[in-house]
Amino acid sequence: MTLIRTAGVRLATVPMVVPVVLALFAVGCGTHRPGDEAGAGGPSRAAATPSAPVDFRCPGESPTPTPSEAPSSGPATPPTDHYAENHGFMVPFPLHGRERCEGLAAIARIKRALEPLRERGDFTPDSTLHALTGLGYPAAKVRSYQYGPTGVGFLIDTFPLCVEGAMGRDTTRADAFGGYPDHSACDQPTGGH
């Protein structure tokens, strides 16, 4: 049997293959020219920053909208007792944009429905519940309760639109908000960290 020696051929091809491979790698490089911005012409690699919520004048709102509370990054100096930090879960989310307009419209409807009760001095939770369910809110989503000696409070839980308020001898107040952090309901949470 004759043995053919090819080891010499293999060793001879290695020096020729290495420069070819290096040349192929070099062809793929060089698309970035000195002075070019990194990533120019391609997608931006800048980190996305959250935009501030946009509020606009809602139907029926006065020409000078009430200033909205801009979210803050917290106090310049950390609180020494950590009260604000530990109770942040109890601060409701403000409404913005279309949801804010829906909240203002709900407040106006609720005040119109409760005003006759206030004028009559009818401050019972049952009367308030009846007036609010008359607006189309399901009875299971409305809570009314005695608020002080001559008032009634209410909470309408149509999360993520929440309306809370109270009615007394002098006024009816209502506030719309978007729920609470880490809580998917309109009632104020009782526990946090």
Q: What is the pLDDT of residue 90?
A: 81
* CA gap 1, 113 in Å, rounded: 109
Residue with tokens 């809570």: 143
Q: How confident is the model at residue 74 (pLDDT cuts 50, 70, 90)?
A: very low
pLDDT of 75 strictly over 90: no
pLDDT of 118 strictly over 50: yes
Q: How confident is the model at residue 81 (pLDDT cuts 50, 70, 90)?
A: low
Q: How confident is the model at residue 28 (pLDDT cuts 50, 70, 90)?
A: low
Bridge partners (DSSP) listed for residue 145 = 153
Output 88 or 98, whichever has higher pLDDT.
Answer: 98
Q: What is the pLDDT of residue 117?
A: 96
pLDDT of 23 strictly over 90: no
Residue 145 C-alpha from the chain's centroid: 29
What tokens appear for 59 in the block?
């139907």
**What is the sign, positive or negative, of the torsion defined by CA atoms of 185, 188, 190, 193?**
positive
Q: How confident is the model at residue 111 (pLDDT cuts 50, 70, 90)?
A: very high
Residue ranges per structural domain of the chain: 91-177
Output 37 or 102, whichever has higher pLDDT.
Answer: 102
Q: Evaluate whether 188 touches 90 at the Cβ level (below 8 Å).
A: yes
Burial class of residue 128 (count of CB atoms within 10 Å of its CB; 0-12, 13-18, 19+): buried
Helix (H, G, I), strand (E, B) or coil at 15: helix
Q: Evaluate whether 104 touches 176 at the Cβ level (below 8 Å).
A: yes
Confidence (pTM) = 0.62
- Most confident range (mean pLDDT) of 23-32, 89-98, 183-192 is 89-98
